[in-house]
Amino acid sequence: MPMSDSGTPVPPVHVLGAGPAGLATAAALQERGIGAVVLEKSDSVGSSWRSHYERLRLHTTRANSALPGLRMPRSYGRWVARADVVRYLERYAAHHRIEVATGVEVSAVERHGDQWVLHANGGRRFSSPAVVIATGYNHTPHLPAWPGRDSFTGELLHACRYRSPAPFDGKDILIVGAGNTGAEIATDLAASGAARVRLAIRTPPHILRRSTLGWPAQRNGIICRRLPVRLVDPLAARLARISVPDLGPYGLPRPETGLYTRAREGAIPVLDVGLIEAVRARRVEPVAAVEAFEEGKVLLSGGETVAPDVVIAATGYRRGLDGLLGGLGVLDDRGRPLRSGPRAHPAAPALYFTGYANPLSGALREIALEAPRIARAISRAIDRGVS
């Protein structure tokens, strides 16, 4: 453990969030002999993974999804199920003997001199030479303020509350949002007992096969990670025309904007786990975007009106960092970190962010690569500050 000039131990680095990013960074810090404590507001590690829908599997391969220092068991299969991800995170924390303090919710992070001070529930305060924010990409569910939303007489829920199709047997369902979550929930419901499944789409997504002839789409994402947009967009368009049928006649046209251009804007492609077949079989009906609600009806762009029993909003999440870090000047106008990974913002020395990207190469892969880099940066920052 680093020591100050007076010979007193340096307080541990505090990591906020016991998901994959927080655990990987804590393990990397310990590998360098730096004490780390993970503060987690829930009662267990991997809380967000525990609450995802039951059919969820990683879209990245097992081999490219493991965190540093512990492989995922081969028994998990190539596409790891949600429950196995949770088991892996539990094993990971135990394997690396990571100190996780559960039930600790940090409400504010402030700089005092050369230390960070964390204000937590119960009046607790923690002091640390460096802090890692890893509270998660999918932190705060976002439900758009549609006009008339509160007048809707049917059931309206965010996708974070969806677990399985069983409660929706025999019902008319409208899913809003055609990202991976919306596409998978639509496919799940269409394959089960829902009476009708519509998928409301504002911007047609890029759809890729999760694997083509055994070659996972993730590998293409890794190859293209640092290639220029002007090269990747036309290549991706050609591949899509070869591997994915034209769904335009079914109401789901190919997108006009290039795949990599959209990815740079934060819209990653949908990896197909049954949506293509469900749309072609008309078990999932693409419809226009939602504009407003009116009692039991939903008004779509273009003037069409539908009357579903249930609306599931797969409308994404916000990072939830504004209240935590307000006033530090480290977030953009959408509440995202201006800098992430091993480079701290000049306005906030020794404050690091990890897990706030959703790249084509796979979020878990990038987390695994980023963790040792952040640990190295923290080691250097502590050396500069206390030696």
Query: pLDDT of 26-53, one tens digit each?
Result: 999 999 999 999 999 999 999 999 999 9
CATH numbers and ranges of domains, the chain = 13-139+319-386 (3.50.50.60), 142-313 (3.50.50.60)
Reported confidence tier of residue 8, pLDDT bands at 50, 70, 90: low
- The token duo for 317 is 């999440």
- Each residue of 45-62: b (16+ CB within 10 Å) or e? bbbbbeebbebbbbbbbb
Number of alpha carbons in the 13 Å side-chain half-sphere of residue 308:
28
**For the CA atoms of the chain, what is the radius of gyration?**
22
Cα(371)–Cα(245) distance, integer angstroms: 39
Pairing of strands 207-209, 351-353: unpaired
Q: Is the pLDDT of residue 386 over 80?
A: no
Q: State the pLDDT at residue 137.
A: 85
Structure tokens at 143: 């439900």
Q: Which residues, in sequence order, are CB contacts of 301 under 8 Å at separation 6+?
A: 202, 288, 289, 290, 291
Q: Classify each residue of 90-103 as buried b or exposed e, where b means 16 or more C-beta atoms within 10 Å of its C-beta.
A: eebbeebebebeee
* Mean pLDDT calculated for residue range 360-372: 95
If you average pLDDT over every residue of the chain, what do you get? 93
**Residue 287: per-residue pLDDT:** 98
Q: How confident is the model at residue 202 (pLDDT cuts 50, 70, 90)?
A: very high
The pTM is what? Answer: 0.92
Q: Tokens at residue 160, please?
A: 């974070």
CB 330 within 8 A of CB 337: yes
Q: Of 358 and 118, which is predicted with more confidence?
A: 118
Helical (H) or strand (E) element with 117:
strand 115-120
How many whole angstroms separate alpha carbon 350 and alpha carbon 15? 12
Give, as one character, the DSSP assignment of residue 223.
H
